[in-house]
Amino acid sequence: MSLNSKEGSPFTPGSPVPVELFVGRTKQVGELIRYVEQAKSGKQENAFLAGERGIGKSSLAAFLRYYAATKMNILGIHVFLGGISTLKLTVHHVLEEILKETKREGWFQDIARFFGKYIKEIGLFGISVSFNPPEADLKELVRQFPEILNNLLKDIRKKRDGLFIALDDINGLVGEREFADWYKSFVDEIATHYKDFPVFIMLIGLPEKRDALSKLQPSLMRIFRVVEIEKLSDHEVREFLVRAYRRVSMKIRAKAIDLMVKYSSGLPLLMHEIGDATYWIDQDGLIDREDAIQGVLTAAEKVGQKYLDPKVYRAIRSPRYRSILRKLGKMRISRSFRKKEVEAKLSEEEKKVFHNFLKRIKELGVIESDFEAGRGAYRFVNEIYPIYIWMESERKV
């Protein structure tokens, strides 16, 4: 294969993975499907999908929505609420997504009638649709949300057996007392007023947001089924890479795939960056060890630029820390570590640099003291940091 015959990378670093390349998460998917099934039988269900940045929350939600739509006859919407911190905007987005989805599925008329004059069909041939109620009505929509959903359900159920709502990136929203209280009364009202309410709602956010929510409204956390996702297994990463390269008819040597699996460290985001970089580096349709090494180094660079704060990126790559980085990389510093244990492997000179290095990355919020583990124990705030240090340490000067 020559460079200009590339048909387009099968990798999607930074956006949810297409359903065909979705791997792993068997346990969580199974559990969530059970909740969707419960909801479908009329009992409203709520879940909270928690996981760190880039671990695969949105991909899991997209997969689940696809599954619910195709295998369970459920209308599914996936709403991204990044940067949104008001209930009005939230409700607005949810309703608009329901409209868009029914439009896409071609049975929009009944639903549209319901929303009346605030609907605009936009785009050539009215392909899309927008929903623009006036401010005063939005307030009512927030207040009467259960009733509105219930009315919508009457139409939805002519075609579908229920509604799946994923509220993604709710990080801005869940810190608000208003949201916690609103959600609690939403759930309570449904439980007391509606016998049959086939709606599954899944909030998606960082683990600490779940904690924030439970602090604001403790009884709310009894309502949510918490599902957590973590790293993928090496086996799943391998399966993903094999499937991705097969899709574009590329071959891959065992040594190369071993290397890519190893450096991906179970992080979905990394396996896409490494897979993608290697895809573009390869020149002959057969990925060998050399391609993979170059791919890993290129991916490290990209990860540094894309996911790390520029200050952190510069600090870690600064020449001052070059030698210590090597050492830390070689010993594969883990996410939680003790200063003493690392120091035991360092020379006097290196200890000083290490001390400064720790101080600096602590200031930058890369590590924090791990109080539970006692004095002198630290923890990288995100899994990506120790892996990044490891990858960077492999770079030849």
Interface positions with ligand ATP (CB under 6 A): 12-17, 21-25, 51, 53-59, 240, 268-269, 272
48 contact choice in Mg ion, ligand ATP, none (CB below 5 to 8 Å, kind-dependent): none
CB of 60 to ligand ATP, least distance (A): 6
Two tokens, residue 384: 């990506």
Please identify the residue of the shown chain whose CB is closest to the bound ligand ATP: 56
Which CB, 110 or 234, lies closer to ligand ATP?
234
- Closest-CA residue to 259 (of 248, 240, 244, 275): 275
Phi, psi of 377 (to 5 degrees): -100, 135
Tell me how far apart the alpha carbons of residues 252 and 250 are, in angstroms, rounded to a whole number: 7
Strand segments (E) across the chain: 45-50, 75-80, 119-122, 128-131, 163-168, 199-205, 224-228, 251-252, 286-287, 336-338, 367-369, 377-380
23 contact choice in ligand ATP, Mg ion, none (CB below 5 to 8 Å, kind-dependent): ligand ATP
Say if CB 186 and CB 146 are below 8 A apart.
Answer: yes
Tell me how far apart the alpha carbons of residues 52 and 229 are, in angstroms, rounded to a whole number: 8
Say if CB 209 and CB 173 are below 8 A apart.
Answer: no
Which CB, 45 or 169, lies closer to ligand ATP?
169
Which CB, 256 or 270, lies closer to ligand ATP?
270
Which CB, 72 or 384, lies closer to ligand ATP?
384
210 contact choice in Mg ion, ligand ATP, none (CB below 5 to 8 Å, kind-dependent): none
167 contact choice in ligand ATP, Mg ion, none (CB below 5 to 8 Å, kind-dependent): none
Binding residue for Mg ion, selected from 28, 44, 58, 382, defined by CB under 5 A: 58
315 contact choice in Mg ion, ligand ATP, none (CB below 5 to 8 Å, kind-dependent): none
CB of 59 to ligand ATP, least distance (A): 3
Rounded to the nearest 10°, the torsion over CA 294, 299, 305, 309 is -130
22 contact choice in Mg ion, ligand ATP, none (CB below 5 to 8 Å, kind-dependent): ligand ATP
Which CB, 49 or 259, lies closer to Mg ion?
49
Order across the sheet with 75-80: list the strands.
75-80, 163-168, 199-205, 45-50, 224-228
CB of 226 to Mg ion, least distance (A): 17
Which CB, 10 or 54, lies closer to Mg ion?
54
**Of residues 18-57, which lie at the interface with Mg ion (CB under 5 A)?**
57
CB of 241 to ligand ATP, least distance (A): 10
Q: Among the residues of 72-219, which ranges form H helices?
A: 87-104, 109-115, 135-143, 145-156, 177-193, 207-216
Residue 218 CB coordination number (10 Å): 11
CB of 272 to Mg ion, least distance (A): 13
175 contact choice in ligand ATP, Mg ion, none (CB below 5 to 8 Å, kind-dependent): none
Tell me how far apart the alpha carbons of residues 354 and 348 are, in angstroms, rounded to a whole number: 10
CB environment 44-77: b (16+ within 10 A), e (fewer): bbbbbbbbbebbbbbbbbbbbbebbbeebebbbb
Say if CB 267 and CB 281 are below 8 A apart.
Answer: no
Two tokens, residue 22: 């979705």
CB of 372 to ligand ATP, least distance (A): 25
Which CB, 51 or 133, lies closer to ligand ATP?
51
CB of 337 to ligand ATP, least distance (A): 24
Which CB, 51 or 133, lies closer to Mg ion?
51
**Site residue total, Mg ion (CB under 5 A):** 2
Instruction: Please give the helix or strand (H or E) that residue 244 lies within, else none.
Output: helix 234-247
329 contact choice in ligand ATP, Mg ion, none (CB below 5 to 8 Å, kind-dependent): none
Which CB, 54 or 162, lies closer to ligand ATP?
54
CB of 389 to ligand ATP, least distance (A): 20
CB of 221 to ligand ATP, least distance (A): 21
Q: Which residues in this chain contact Mg ion in the complex, by CB under 5 A?
A: 57-58
